[in-house]
């Protein structure tokens, strides 16, 4: 390995003076103008990680739901997972190194991680549709080649598709073919197999409107549509031909504003969904006959999926160890429904899919979703083999259930949450169960909730424990939250520093139903806390207009402020 060549080449990818970026929950993200040196350096790091793991490593150029002028990059580990935490630290170190220190930092990483310089390296690269992505992915390639690594550039891909390719390449073909055709064929074959068994007759229930956030999801859905066109009619909106990426549309917009995206024609009771900018998140929604908007988020997706899987296991007569993994942002109603009605164990991890993914790997079947719509289901290798064997051996109803389970295993992208794959899973389950979107929504009623961002001088003064549900510092904060929350029924609130933005997130939910015999009414509850030292104050106001009879809520913006 020629570190001198690296030094020379890195001069073409100069680091802006004083710029320090950190590898966060989802890699590096910032304005695209500041990212050229980061891309080059992540190309270098991917080569080292590939040599160390003796596996293919992925590098994805995207900034997901961030605005079009931003970009970002993240590395994908051998099993299609997010980069290991120790390597996140190396990424931050390498990204922050001054030009002249690059050889020293690279050597230090190699020594610490026992990287064999002679080992071959292979890196696969993907990018989203941002105008800056093409040039930035060339900088990644520059980094890979200067260290002697080999690469394959997949060009335009969704983030989960690149995770899938990495997983396929490192599973020796067991997981599937590492090509876009391989991906489309595997998913659509499973979808067609599944929906063949649905009793409803390919009518309008088998159509879905998709808001693609003006991103890569549109391109990739178009590419795939003809594979499953007989089973599902997909109408695309915000397909990138006119609007700007993630602007007033996409899963993040819909979830955080709790309203439909611009550019989507919604008729009442039609099933609609939104992808985010790199198609690794999905949320569903519809408008009822009274014009009320109903959001069906990741929590309800997890509930639909886990209840379907549980029913199939019962039918087959297999008692496998299944768990659902959520974060603190999961609506309390979903957790209660899963635990108390469905009797499925629920676990809470820190925010960020890598935490949920790792927890889900502990089960025979692990279903994980963040409330914002990022998630999938994981099946242990032993379970996969067993179910596929049972699908061959069993007869009648048991055999039918085993075949369905075998197909749905293939329909999930087990490398990571994938909007396309999740959409097909959901559409298949709804068709098989004969459920309308309203019936799905009515499984449980979300507790009214609010989430807001607060800008503070230094978000690190807040530290948390217990899967981020309790604050450790500043002193007195948690006690004050406890005092406040215990005044309200089913109330829960927490604060945590964001891992992706320079802000603190505040979340609160409560059962603020009004006396329903009187119909529509305003209700508000205010959480207002000040610590003993008086230097920390949060005020959250939730106002809901609830018409309990139809189980619908409209929340109006809450106000909140927090001073540190």
Ligand X SMILES: CC(=O)N[C@H]1[C@@H](OP(=O)(O)O)O[C@H](CO)[C@@H](O)[C@@H]1O
The single residue of 10, 64, 306, 333 carrying the catalytic annotation is: 64
Over the window 62 to 81, marking each residue x when it contacts ligand X by CB under 6 A and - when it does not, the resulting string is: --x-----------------
* CB nearer to ligand X: pick between 9 and 255: 255
Question: At its nearest, how many Å lie between Mg ion and the CB of residue 281?
Answer: 5
Residue 468 touching Mg ion (CB under 5 A):
no
Tokens of 246: 């993630």
**Which helix or strand (DSSP H or E) is residue 358 part of?**
helix 353-360
**Annotated binding site for Mg(2+), which residues?**
64, 276, 278, 280
What is the residue whose two structure tokens read 């379970």? 383
The neighbour count for residue 241, using CB atoms within 10 Å, is 8
Residue 25 touching ligand X (CB under 6 A):
yes
Segment lying near Mg ion (by CB under 5 A), choices 269-277, 408-416, 511-519, 553-561:
269-277
**Annotated binding site, which residues?**
64, 276, 278, 280, 370-372, 496-500, 505
What b-and-e string marks burial along 14-26, b requiring 16 or more CB atoms within 10 Å of the CB?
ebeeeeebebbbb
Q: How many residues bind ligand X (CB under 6 A)?
A: 15
- Residue 133 to residue 512: CA distance in whole angstroms: 46
- Residue 71 to residue 61: CA distance in whole angstroms: 7
Segment lying near ligand X (by CB under 6 A), choices 187-195, 288-296, 350-358, 543-551:
350-358
**Binding partner of residue 372 among ligand X, Mg ion, none, CB under 5 to 8 Å per kind?**
ligand X
Residue 370 touching ligand X (CB under 6 A):
yes
**Binding partner of residue 215 among ligand X, Mg ion, none, CB under 5 to 8 Å per kind?**
none
Question: At its nearest, how many Å lie between ligand X and the CB of residue 391?
Answer: 34
Contact (CB, 8 A) for 497 and 350: no
**Binding partner of residue 424 among ligand X, Mg ion, none, CB under 5 to 8 Å per kind?**
none
Which one among 159, 372, 407, 414 touches ligand X, defined by CB under 6 A?
A: 372
**Which helix or strand (DSSP H or E) is residue 388 part of?**
helix 381-393
Tokens of 539: 């005020």
Residue 252 touching Mg ion (CB under 5 A):
no
Cis peptide upstream of residue 163 (ω within 30 degrees of 0): no
Which one among 498, 531, 552, 554 touches ligand X, defined by CB under 6 A?
A: 498
* CB nearer to ligand X: pick between 294 and 354: 354
Residue 365, strand partner residues: 322, 379
- Indicate the burial class of 116 (C-beta count within 10 angstroms; 0-12, 13-18, 19 or more): exposed
In 3D space, the residue among 548, 491, 493, 488 whose CA is nearest the CA of residue 521 turns out to be: 548
Contact (CB, 8 A) for 213 and 226: no
* CB nearer to Mg ion: pick between 409 and 425: 425
**Binding partner of residue 498 among Mg ion, ligand X, none, CB under 5 to 8 Å per kind?**
ligand X
- Chain centre distance of CA 473: 28
Segment lying near ligand X (by CB under 6 A), choices 9-17, 193-201, 302-310, 369-377:
369-377
- Indicate the burial class of 100 (C-beta count within 10 angstroms; 0-12, 13-18, 19 or more): exposed
Residue 64 touching Mg ion (CB under 5 A):
yes
In 3D space, the residue among 264, 205, 94 whose CA is nearest the CA of residue 435 turns out to be: 205
**Which helix or strand (DSSP H or E) is residue 540 part of?**
strand 537-547
**Annotated binding site for substrate, which residues?**
370-372, 496-500, 505
* CB nearer to ligand X: pick between 473 and 551: 473
Residue 416 touching ligand X (CB under 6 A):
no
Segment lying near ligand X (by CB under 6 A), choices 80-88, 228-236, 351-359, 404-412:
351-359
| DSSP tag of 171 | T
Look up 268 and say whether it is catalytic. no
Segment lying near ligand X (by CB under 6 A), choices 203-211, 368-376, 471-479, 545-553:
368-376
**Which helix or strand (DSSP H or E) is residue 473 part of?**
strand 470-473
* CB nearer to ligand X: pick between 13 and 374: 374
The neighbour count for residue 397, using CB atoms within 10 Å, is 10
Residue 26 touching ligand X (CB under 6 A):
yes
- Residue 530 to residue 212: CA distance in whole angstroms: 43
- Indicate the burial class of 135 (C-beta count within 10 angstroms; 0-12, 13-18, 19 or more): middle
Residues within window 312-341 making contact with ligand X, judged by CB under 6 A: 329
Which one among 81, 88, 280, 418 touches Mg ion, defined by CB under 5 A?
A: 280
* CB nearer to Mg ion: pick between 69 and 113: 69
Residue nearest to Mg ion (CB): 64
Q: Contact positions toward ligand X, by CB under 6 A?
A: 25-26, 64, 329, 351-353, 370, 372, 374, 498-501, 505
Catalytic residues: 64
Q: Contact positions toward Mg ion, by CB under 5 A?
A: 64, 276, 278, 280
């Amino acid at each position: 390995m020629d570190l001198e060549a690296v030094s020379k080449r890195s001069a073409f990818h100069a680091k802006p003076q004083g710029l320090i970026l950190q590898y966060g929950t989802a890699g590096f993200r910032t304005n695209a103008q500041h990212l050229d040196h980061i891309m080059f350096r992540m190309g270098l790091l991917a080569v080292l990680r590939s040599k160390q793991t003796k596996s293919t490593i992925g590098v994805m150029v995207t900034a997901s739901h961030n605005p079009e002028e931003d970009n970002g990059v993240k590395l994908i580990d051998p099993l299609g997972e997010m980069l290991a935490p120790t390597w996140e630290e190396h990424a931050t170190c390498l990204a922050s190194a001054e030009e002249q220190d690059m050889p020293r930092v690279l050597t230090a990483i190699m020594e610490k991680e026992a990287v064999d310089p002679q080992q071959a390296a292979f890196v696969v690269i993907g990018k989203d549709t941002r105008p800056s992505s093409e040039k930035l992915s060339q900088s990644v390639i520059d980094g890979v080649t200067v260290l002697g690594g080999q690469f394959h550039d997949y060009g335009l891909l969704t983030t989960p598709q690149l995770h899938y390719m990495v997983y396929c390449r490192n599973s020796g073909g067991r997981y599937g073919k590492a090509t876009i055709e391989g991906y489309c064929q595997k998913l659509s074959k499973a979808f067609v197999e599944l929906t063949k068994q649905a009793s409803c007759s390919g009518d309008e229930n088998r159509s879905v409107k998709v808001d693609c956030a003006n991103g890569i999801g549109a391109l990739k859905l178009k590419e795939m549509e003809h594979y499953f066109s007989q089973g599902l009619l997909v109408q695309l909106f915000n397909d990138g031909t006119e609007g700007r990426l993630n602007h007033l549309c996409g899963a993040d917009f819909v979830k955080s504003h709790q309203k439909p995206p611009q550019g989507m024609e919604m008729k009442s009771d039609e099933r609609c969904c939104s992808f985010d900018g790199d198609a690794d998140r999905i949320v569903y929604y519809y408008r009822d006959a009274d014009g009320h908007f109903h959001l069906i988020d990741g929590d309800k997706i997890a509930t639909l999926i886990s209840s379907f899987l549980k029913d199939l296991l019962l039918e087959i007569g297999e008692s496998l160890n299944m768990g659902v993994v959520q974060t603190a942002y999961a609506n309390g109603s979903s957790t209660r429904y899963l635990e108390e009605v469905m009797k499925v164990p629920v676990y809470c991890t820190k925010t960020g899919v890598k935490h949920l993914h790792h927890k889900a790997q502990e089960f025979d079947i692990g279903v994980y979703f963040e409330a914002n719509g990022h998630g999938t289901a994981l099946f242990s290798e032993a379970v996969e083999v067993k179910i596929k064997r049972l699908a061959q051996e069993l007869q009648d109803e048991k055999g039918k259930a085993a075949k369905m389970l075998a197909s749905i295993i293939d329909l999930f992208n087990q490398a990571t949450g994938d909007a396309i794959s999740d959409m097909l899973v959901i559409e298949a389950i709804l068709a098989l169960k004969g459920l309308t979107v309203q019936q799905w929504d009515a499984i449980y009623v979300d507790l009214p909730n609010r989430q807001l961002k607060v800008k503070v001088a230094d978000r690190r003064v807040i530290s948390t424990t217990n899967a981020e549900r309790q604050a450790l510092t500043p002193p007195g904060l948690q006690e004050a939250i406890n005092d406040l929350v215990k005044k309200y029924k089913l109330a829960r609130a927490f604060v945590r520093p964001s891992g992706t933005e320079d802000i603190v997130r505040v979340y609160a939910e409560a059962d603020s139903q009004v006396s329903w015999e009187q119909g529509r009414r305003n209700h508000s509850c205010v959480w207002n806390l000040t610590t003993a030292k008086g230097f920390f104050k949060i005020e959250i106001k939730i106002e809901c207009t609830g018409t309990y009879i139809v189980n619908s809520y409209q929340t109006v913006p809450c106000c909140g402020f927090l001073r540190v």
